[in-house]
Chains A and B, each alone.
Chain A
Amino acid sequence: MELNVVKHSVVTSQRPSVDDIDRRLLAAIQHGLPLTSRPYAEIGASLGMSEAQVIARLAQLKAGGVIRRFGVVVRHHELGYSANAMVVWDVPDEQAAELGRCLAGFDFITLCYRRPRRLPAWRYNLYCMIHGQSRDEVLAHLEWMVNHCGLQSLPHEVLFSRRRFKQRGAVYTSGRRAR
């Protein structure tokens, strides 16, 4: 199994400046891009902006990380990835970063975060999401990962999803907000 190149960052509160024009632009495309030859011109026309302005601002928003990714959102269920499990680990805090990077390197892991414990009810501080075409496949991935990263002695639990009630992206409005 190949490992992906792994990037890593500590969450910061860094906020690039996003002005009202950016907000209107983001609101205009939050539900998707027009399916026409020149989609950025069409968006611009609806906002009173030129195509070049739209392209320049979107490129800047992407460079600044406000737009994480420009592409498709796949409904993984429809592609046959019907099993998903959240695996949670109780990891010594000083080892969490190293183990998090190790877990995030597997191509079947789609999310990996360190989160706070909530003692005594909840002891786990490292989370990852494993997708697979079946529960057996998810468990096989997990076993591979445990062996590869040397996690045998770390307490963990597997939380398979039973039902999905909502799956939508976050919604942003174009309304002007107080800062």
Chain B
Amino acid sequence: MDDVDRAIVNQLQGGFPICERPYAEAAAELGLGEDELIRRVEALLAAGTLTRFGPMYHAERLGGALTLAAMKIPLDDFERVNAIVNGFPEVAHNYAREHEFNMWFVLATETPERIGEVIAEIEQATGCKVYNMPKLEEFFVGLRFEA
């Protein structure tokens, strides 16, 4: 990744134009040509530096739901439970963390009702309790990683 790539990543994290020739508009702000911007975004995606280029949706406003859930899993049982949890398509991401509560995952469902159902299904499949930690209030941050 060179300085131009870094400038592209930093700018696109702030947003992307919605107009007829959005790459041309974004490229102009970066002092690049449209073709070069497209080629570089393609390369950043291929290299895995960017995982996605497009919209981030607001699940609740689409009628869906999101929640954070946590589990306390005995270490010698972790791999078994982890495999089961990751097998659920509603599990959007999942991190092992250093704590007695050692598994933290996000559930994304198409309806609010489905959150409770998936939690019950995970508890039944794993034999472990799932703690639902839905957001009550969000404090907005400027989500940016300085590249």
Residue ranges of A at the interface with B (Cβ–Cβ < 8 Å): 4-11, 13-16, 18, 23, 26, 29-33, 35-41, 51, 55, 58-59, 61-62, 64-76, 78-79, 81, 86, 96-97, 100-101, 103-105, 107, 109-116, 118, 121-122, 127, 131, 157, 159-173, 177, 179
* Cβ contacts under 8 Å, B50 to chain A: 72-75
Within 8 A of A (CB), among B29-76: 34, 38, 41-42, 45, 47-64, 66, 68, 70, 72
Q: Are A159 and B98 in contact (CB under 8 A)?
A: yes
Residue B80, interface by CB 8 Å: no
Task: For the complex formed, measure the closest distance between the CB of B109 and the CB atoms of chain A, giving whole angstroms.
Answer: 9
Binding site for A on B (CB under 8 A): 9, 12-16, 18-24, 34, 38, 41-42, 45, 47-64, 66, 68, 70, 72, 82, 86, 89, 91-99, 101-102, 104-105, 108, 110-111, 131, 133-145, 147
CA A171 to CA B83, docked complex, whole Å:
20
Q: Which of B54, B92, B137, B139 contacts A6 (CB 8 A)?
A: B139
17 contacting pairs across A/B (C-beta < 8 A): A6-B140, A8-B139, A14-B61, A16-B61, A35-B38, A55-B18, A69-B55, A72-B53, A74-B51, A97-B139, A104-B139, A112-B141, A114-B136, A160-B97, A164-B95, A166-B105, A173-B110
> Which chain B residue lies CB-closest to A159?
B97
In the A-B complex, the 7 residue pairs with the closest CB atoms: A170-B108, A104-B139, A100-B139, A114-B137, A112-B139, A73-B52, A159-B97
Residue of B nearest to A75 (CB): B51
Within the complex, the shortest CB–CB distance from B117 to chain A, in Å, comes to: 15
CA distance A131 to B110 in the complex (A): 29
Given A37-B34, A55-B20: A71 and B98 interface contact (C-beta under 8 Å): no
Other-chain contact of A165, B13, B95, B101 (Cβ < 8 Å): B95
* Inter-subunit contact A66/B58 (CB<8 Å): yes
Cross-chain contact B140 with A171 (CB below 8 angstroms): no
**Once bound together, how far apart are the Cα atoms of A179 and B52, in whole Å?**
29
Q: How far is the CA of A72 from the CA of B60 in the complex (A)?
A: 21
- Residues of B contacting A37 in the complex (Cβ-Cβ under 8 angstroms): 21, 23-24, 34, 38
Does B55 lie within 8 Å of A67, measured CB to CB? Answer: yes
C-alpha gap A100/B131 in the complex (Å): 22
Q: Are A68 and B101 in touch, CB under 8 angstroms?
A: no
A177, B63: Cβ atoms closer than 8 Å: yes
Bound complex: CA A44 to CA B42 (Å): 21
A136 to B48, CA, bound (A): 26
* Given A67-B56, A104-B141: A116 and B48 interface contact (C-beta under 8 Å): no
Q: How far is the CA of A162 from the CA of B98 in the complex (A)?
A: 6
| A56 nearest CB neighbor, chain B only | B18
